Amino acid sequence: MIILFVGVLLIIYAIAAKKYSVAWGMLFVLIIMGCQEGIPGDFMGYKDTYNEGGAEAGYLGSTVKEAEYSFIWLTQFCSRFMSFHWFVFFTSLVQCLVMGAMIKKYADNRYWSFGVLLVFFTYNIMLLQMKAMRQGYAVESLLLAYWLIGERRFLLALIMAAICYGFHNSSLVALPFFLVFLIIMFLKRKEVNNADTEDVCNVAKDSYPFAIVVAVGLIAFTILKFSVIDDYLKPLVNTWDFFEYGAYLEEMQDKRLAWWIVLYVTVSVFAVSLYYKNEANIYKKYLAFLSIIASYVYVGIFGMGSLFRVSMYFDIFAIVTFPNVAGMLRNTYGKDVASLYVIFNMVYLMYFSVAHMTSMSIIGGFGYGMYKFSFMNW
């Protein structure tokens, strides 16, 4: 309930603020992420490991792999002079700064509040990162690498991508997309510097066929996934002893994707595809492309146990893309249509995440009802 209460305050601030401040908005997120305590699951494992002097690859009870030196070195260094509570706060502060910087620079400034609300209520952006801390660090490291590309700091961006892999090996699935973008932006650096303008994005009529094809393609992929892929993938995985994350697929559950979720994802990918087709800024256009990929990843790994966390590396870009979609709709169809788009997204996201915010335990998952602020123990 505490998380939901803070979320309601964030909504009130978003509505009441005449000139929305990303810094103040992200402060609400930091209150939850940086002052957390008692989150069941991975969080408690990281706490125990940290209090033992930091992570070690192969340590009993540790999930850290040998190549994940970013997390190993960070925890071993920080555990020498700060408690776990302060470690969580300062690392969460860095994460919030990165997300806030992306929203402020690349999201439509009329919908900054929408970007921050997406951080707070999107399950894979804040809530899951509170539990899966190490993967959360990898997600924000990747986001920072993208931000550095926008600043034309290509070498630093590449180093940050390596640091991202050092936090969680699963980030390998997102790194090819990053490298492609790095190469594109490097080769077009002079062209981008001369043409990186803030042109107004409007909907062109000839962009609808592309968006329809992408949305229909997602529906076809959804049907294929739940009628064919799931039935054959799990038995196949049992033979993949060499696949490091094969055990995650063994957690596949016999569940079907609800059609109301299919409806949301389809409408979402349609709107983003429409924006992708009309956006002239190459940087924002690529982020929109990653948001399209996120919809397909979301459906493709739905119900596959912990492998579902892979979608975090693509969901994160919604904090920029979705506000820009709202801005495009406002430019073309007016404020009311843009507001309906924002409300449509927030209703779905709140419905999907509020149960986790208020429940003490959720069958087949976990809840945040046990949440309490860390300073309650001081």
pLDDT tens-digit series, residues 81-105: 888 889 999 999 999 999 999 999 9
Burial of 83 (0-12, 13-18, 19+ CB in 10 A): middle
What is the average pLDDT across 205-221? 93
Q: How confident is the model at residue 316 (pLDDT cuts 50, 70, 90)?
A: very high
SS3 label, residue 174 = coil
**Other C-beta atoms lying within 10 Å of the C-beta of residue 337:** 12
- Report CA dihedral (171, 177, 182, 187) to the nearest 10 degrees: 160
Angle at which helices 42-51 and 84-106 pack, to 10 degrees?
130
For residue 334, give its domain range.
2-377
Tokens (6 digits) for 147: 């931000």
For the chain, give the mean pLDDT.
Answer: 83
So what's the pLDDT on residue 242? 43
Distance from C-alpha of 119 to C-alpha of 117, rounded to nearest angstrom: 5
Query: Would you say 338 and 326 are in contact if contact means Cβ atoms under 8 Å apart?
Result: yes
Q: Reply yes or no on whether the pLDDT at 214 is more than 50.
A: yes
Average pLDDT over residues 242-258: 52
Give CA separation, 351 vs 318, 325, 355, in Å: 18, 21, 7
As for how many domains the chain has, the answer is 1
* pLDDT of the residue at 54: 67
pLDDT > 70 fraction of the chain, expressed in percent and rounded: 80
| 344-378 pLDDT, tens digit each | 999 888 887 877 777 655 554 556 666 777 766 55
Cβ of 8: how many Cβ atoms within 10 Å? 11
Evaluate whether 41 touches 367 at the Cβ level (below 8 Å): no
Kindly state the average pLDDT of the residues 275-288: 93
